[in-house]
Amino acid sequence: MVNVGKRAIVAIGLMLFSVGSARAVEPADQLQFADGLFARGLYDLAVQEYRALADSTDAAQADLATYRIGEARREQGRDAAARAAYEETVRRFPDTPAAIRARFRLAEAAANSGQFEEAQQAFRALADRSDLPGDLTAPAAYYLGYTAHRLQRDQDAEAAYARLLKVAPNSAYAYLGAVDLAVLRIAARAKTADIESLLKIASAQTNVPRAAIEALTLLGDYAYRQKNYVQSADAYGKLFERFPKDPAVSIARLSAAWAYLKAGRVEEALRQVPHAQAGSEAAWLYLEANAKRLSGKASDAQATYEALLKSYAAAPEAGPAAYELTLLLFQQRDYSNAYIRAQQASLTDETRGDLLWLRAETARETGRTEEAIEGYDQIVGAASGVDAERVIAARFQAARLKQNADAWADASARYRVLVEHAPQSPLAADALFASAFCQTQLKDHKQALADWAKLIREYPDYSARDQALFGKAQSELALEQTAAAETSLNALLKDFPSSATAPEAHLLYGNLLEQKENYQAAEFHYAQALRKQQSPELARRIQFRQLAVLQRQGRSDEAAATLNALLSAGAAGDVPVQLLDWAARWNLSHSNFPAAVTAAQMLASQRVSPAWMQIGHYLAGRAFLEQSLADQAGAAFKSAAGAGVTTEEGLESAWRWGEWAVSKGKWADAETAFQLAAEKASAPEAAEIRAKSYYGLGRVAEGQGRWADAARQYLAVAVLYENPVLTPDALDAASRMFEKAGDAKSAAQTRRELAERFPDDAREKR
């Protein structure tokens, strides 16, 4: 036997089938035979069999054979031949089920070729037929909706799809229709629940992958735009899990990554980055940078933003990337670089408000005050893209910068504009408070009082109400509205007894009571002030007023004891000089000499005026003398004399300095001291100091052995002054100096004058 290959056997078979012998297959089996060939993909052979039946005048199934010729040619992609067979079926057998199917195929072909109006009419006619085969119900309804949708007859499309879901809810076409219906309802802004229900129905089934893929993709996108990022991320996740190799997955990666990011699933977003598609590098870099930023990887995020801006400066993502980088740098307090990036970022409707704010804030943080103010003013003047709260904040910040620059009037005006435009804002009360402060700095106490009063009246729950009451009281005091100030202080102390301003409020209230000579009540308020927490400086101020009240009540011993305790604790810097002077003199008069020294030296150390310094040194010298501390006393008197002013204490100090210098044989110092005292003691009431100084100069000359000069100085005292003690002493000393100088005549004459002027002087009698 000759071996024949398989390919030859098939060829022989084809030749046999092509003969078309009527006896090859009985007519009763010919349609089944043709269908078998069709099922095996032998479409040309099947067409030959179908044609034989279709052309037979007595064939009972000629209509089906004609229709199936169209089906075979359709499977071959020979659309024109298929259409001809379907049209033949309709023409020859118009009332048969085969004709109905042919009409469906013609309508379907019209829809697929974009002839939607023709297809719409055909499918409507089919849908209205009562004899429409059951298996065509779903596809006819679907195409009726599909063509209406393409013709933008959305109401007709919705009605068709709704009918489809009702009559064939579990068909493949129902799932496709559910997706299309969801698209229509999204466009119509229907209820979210209805849209999600349709997409969940389509995505949950497993029989029509294309419908599921489209439903999951659409659900992910729709949920994202609804800001339901968790649902969006879940939908994309199911798409990736169920259809990992479908092209739709690659297309959806970037959208899914954003959904993951917005849902807080940052690591899942970053896991999408390796799947980035070529041609969308900038978009993926932007996504990656944002994901890194949100995961706390600030330095990595910064590097990615900068890589995007460097390599894709013209990409649409560059503007948002510059904005995000600005925000990142600002959050890291890298204000210098944030300032630069803020200028590079472009304003968009989405970022306008935030970016203008960042520009102003970074300018402020980098010391560009005027530019920052201009930036805040730009926010205030923006026509759109800036929310009301940001405008209010910008007004406040600009005003604060003006305040920090000591532009009190401008700052106050800006604060008051804020209150006028946004009286209900949380910043309004703070703005009024700041305006009042600025007016206080301008010493416009009337305007300050108006701001304080408005703040207290219109914002009763303001957190710093106690401070506002205190400020109001201070303004009222400045305007000499003492009764109103008393009312304000009363309200403060009643409603806010633990306020940080309470100690000073008690002090001011005590001052008002002092002015009324109600010293006992004033003392009570000073005591109350001291019981509360306050700064050491304020505590001393209160104690000094307390001392004054004690003094005015004649309770000097209590006042002195309290003041001495303060001074021993080192409180000199805050003690009024009058109190230091009083303390030193009181202690001197009560023989409390160490305390007197303390008070006097503290007075001398003050820088209020040279006169008070001079008095302090003098009183210290007096206290030292009382303790027999001559050297310390001499040094103190010398300091007093050198203070450069002429007080009574200063004149006496110069003389006492000279006396001490004589006792130490410091003739040059003594001469300087006595000459200074004599020169400055020119007033009649200082005559005694001048006389003593002249006498002292005589002692200096005597101590130096200059007898004639000494005699002259002593004689000047005797000639110029009539002092019952000093004058006879001067005459006696002068006579002695004349004798030592060898001038016996002058010596005798001086003694005679002593005897004549002071006959009872013991020296003359002797």
Concatenate the DSSP letters of all residues of 222-247 into one string: HHHHTT-HHHHHHHHHHHHHH-TTSH
Which DSSP letter does residue 340 get? H
Four-point Cα dihedral 301, 306, 309, 311, nearest 10: -110
Residue 1, helix vs strand vs coil = coil
Which are the contacts of 471, defined by CB distance < 8 A and separation ≥ 6? 433, 436, 437, 440, 448, 452
CB distance 411 to 395 below 8 Å? no
Identify the CA nearest to 399 among candidates 451, 440, 434. Answer: 434
Domains of the chain: which residue ranges?
A: 710-766
Note the pLDDT of residue 766: 44
277 Cβ contact list (under 8 Å, min separation 6): 250, 251, 253, 254, 284
End-to-end CA distance of the chain: 192
Residue 30, classed as helix, strand or coil, is: helix
The answer for 378, left when phi > 0, alpha when psi is -120 to 50, beta otherwise, is alpha
Could you give the CA distance from residue 395 to residue 411 in angstroms, rounded to a whole number?
Answer: 10
455-495, pLDDT tens digit by residue?
999 999 999 999 999 999 999 999 989 989 889 988 998 89
Name every residue whose Cβ is closer than 8 Å to that of residue 604 and which is 6 or more positions away in sequence. Answer: 613, 615, 616, 617, 620, 636, 639, 640
Instruction: Please write down the HEC assignment for all residues of 128-186.
Output: CCCCCCHHHHHHHHHHHHHHHHHCCCHHHHHHHHHHHHHHCCCCHHHHHHHHHHHHHHH
Q: Note the residue count of the chain.
A: 766
E strands, 677-758, are none
Task: Give the span between the Cα atoms of 635 and 625, in whole angstroms.
Answer: 11
Run means of pLDDT, 10 residues per run, the chain, 766 residues: 31 32 59 89 92 80 92 93 94 92 92 91 88 87 89 88 86 85 85 85 82 87 90 89 88 90 91 85 91 90 91 88 89 90 83 89 94 92 83 94 95 95 93 95 94 93 92 92 90 87 83 78 75 68 69 74 73 71 87 87 82 90 91 89 82 90 91 88 84 92 92 88 89 93 92 88 59
pLDDT, residue 447, reads 95
Q: What is the pLDDT of residue 538?
A: 67
Residue 546 has what pLDDT? 66
Q: Which tokens hold the place of 627?
A: 């303790």
Q: For position 530, what pLDDT does the model report?
A: 72
How far apart CA 121 and CA 316 sit, in angstroms, is: 45
Interhelix angle 97-112/116-127, rounded to 10 degrees, is: 150
What is the pTM (predicted TM-score) of this model?
0.54
User: CA separation (Å) from 641 to 32, 448, 500, 578, 611?
Assistant: 143, 49, 46, 20, 11
Give the model's pLDDT for residue 174. 80
- Helices and strands, counts by H and E, the chain: 42, 0
Burial class (CB in 10 A: 0-12, 13-18, 19+), 356: buried
At residue 93, what are phi and psi to the nearest 5 degrees? -130, 60
Alpha carbon separation from 182 to 157, 231, 335, 726, 752 (Å, rounded): 11, 16, 48, 125, 142
